[in-house]
Amino acid sequence: AQSVTQLDSQVPVFEEAPVELRCNYSSSVSVYLFWYVQYPNQGLQLLLKYLSGSTLVKGINGFEAEFNKSQTSFHLRKPSVHISDTAEYFCAVRGSGTYKYIFGTGTRLKVLA
């Protein structure tokens, strides 16, 4: 069965500093990968997705992620964070032969002034 591991439950970082949120997945088949952001009392909003093609994916709000098949990772990065990036971030995987999206446990990013 597919699974997603987000290694960090909380990441504090100062404003304008870079950040990386880690995501590893386990799957023996081709996968599609996603990062979502959730602001308080809201639903999940797509940040970016990897379906095929270039392994470096750019998303909204200046975020990007790199698909690394050999390391089964899909880490999310931003070179300079803002206070408004404070939120919970979820990594998700979907196998190519299924419609099922499996989510990680989330990483709470707190940007400090």
Partner 1 sequence: DAGVIQSPRHEVTEMGQEVTLRCKPISGHNSLFWYRQTMMRGLELLIYFNNNVPIDDSGMPEDRFSAKMPNASFSTLKIQPSEPRDSAVYFCASSLAGGEAFFGQGTRLTVV
Q: Toward partner 1, which CB reaches closer, 69 or 100?
A: 100
Smallest distance, Å, CB 15 to partner 1? 27
- Indicate left, alpha or beta for 16 from its phi (over 0: left) and psi (-120 to 50: alpha): left
80-91 burial by CB neighbour count: b if 16+ within 10 A, else e?
A: ebeeebbbbbbb
**What residues numbered 31-50 form the site for partner 1, per CB under 8 A?**
32, 34, 36, 42-46, 49
**What residues numbered 53-82 form the site for partner 1, per CB under 8 A?**
none
CA 111-16-57 angle, 5° bins: 90
Smallest distance, Å, CB 19 to partner 1? 21
Phi, psi of 81 (to 5 degrees): -90, 155
Exactly one of 25, 63, 89, 90 binds partner 1 (CB under 8 A); that residue is 90
Residues that bind partner 1 (CB under 8 A): 32, 34, 36, 42-46, 49, 51, 90, 92, 99-106
